[in-house]
Amino acid sequence: MKPTKSKPDKYRDQYTRSLIEASLDPLVTISAEGKITDVNEASIKITGISREELINSDFSSYFTDPKKAQE
């Protein structure tokens, strides 16, 4: 069973999401391992790839020269 979030956590998440989506520039967050953890709507429009497909994929596959990124 998934733990429910407290009201402050929900508000923080909503606020963070609104800041990310308000940007006209593509925003991408990545993990320390280089996996995409979140994208905004501008990123989806620029890449033409769905949020679902981008999340958990390798950042280097879309936004850098993969060979240079692995160096």
Which regions in the chain score pLDDT beneath 50? none
Average pLDDT of every residue of the chain: 85
Class of domain 7-70: alpha beta
Distances (CA, A) of 12 to 24, 45, 56: 21, 25, 22
**28: helix, coil or strand?**
strand
Tokens, residue 49: 């790839």
pLDDT value at residue 55? 95
Residue 21: predicted pLDDT? 86
**Cα→Cα distances 51→19, 26, 34, 38, 41, Å:** 17, 12, 16, 8, 8
| pLDDT at residue 68 in the model | 60
pTM score, whole prediction: 0.69
At residue 8, the pLDDT reads: 84
Instruction: With H, G, I as helix, E, B as strand and everything else as coil, classify residue 36.
Output: strand
